[in-house]
Copies of this chain bind each other. A is one copy, B any other.
């Protein structure tokens, strides 16, 4: 069974996914918890500032506790601060929307977006989740994970978001192999029709992916060559971030050759 802590954090998570503040009954239902249990959790979380209850409406929302922790985390581990300049440059270079994701709590979520300067562009919301099998980021992340984690990810039911979403584990495996070999992933309309994306992982010196740099473009104005160029650029940016972030430790195997020779 899931621990109490796990349940409480899951509650926080669902509360964060809700469109807006929610009432006790709602929250309990959404989390599949008893009303009494949900309330005990909420009270406990509130004591520590992780949730707040509006004194008027009595509805609950995420509190400012996480904000405090986030500031400390960012101060010690300034992933965003390091990565954003590269993302910005990449957005200018590619003239397409570039977004950065981070792996956290078993999910890959968008942590920064630089919009394409063009009028016709892809928009991505900060905070949105990126399914492993249906997005370039997901694929790029998974491709550099240990075998076990790939197996586990592909074991779960894979949602079909568009007519083009690949849900066959076997086919996904070959796509992952290609991604690993190439250093970047390409997904054609996996999550949304009309969008093609490419992504490459930011990795620790040990080679573990911690997030991805992705470029998303309207399918209508791209071709194979352009996508490959984007992929190379994304890989270069991801690699540059990894290096800058972790200092100039050993430049990590497989993907190193992809660094642009500039």
Residues of chain A whose beta carbon lies under 8 Å from any beta carbon of chain B: 3-6, 8-10, 12-13, 16, 20-21, 40-41, 44-45, 47-50, 55-56, 61-77, 79, 102-107, 109, 111, 126-127, 204, 206, 208
Contact = CB atoms under 8 A, between A and B. Distances in A.
B48 A10 contact: yes
Nearest to A8: B5
Contacts of A63: 73, 104-105
A34 B39 CA distance: 28
Number of copies of this kind of chain in the complex: 2
A48 B204 CA distance: 20
A68 B5 contact: no
* Closest 8 pairs (CB-CB, A-B): A49-B105, A49-B104, A70-B70, A66-B69, A66-B66, A64-B104, A9-B48, A67-B70
A16 to B, nearest CB: 5
Contact of A12 (B6, B44, B69, B77): B69
Contact of A111 (B13, B21, B67, B69): B67
Nearest to A6: B44
A170 B104 CA distance: 49
A64 B102 contact: yes
B5 A49 contact: no
A235 to B, nearest CB: 22
A70 B66 CA distance: 5
B67 A127 contact: no
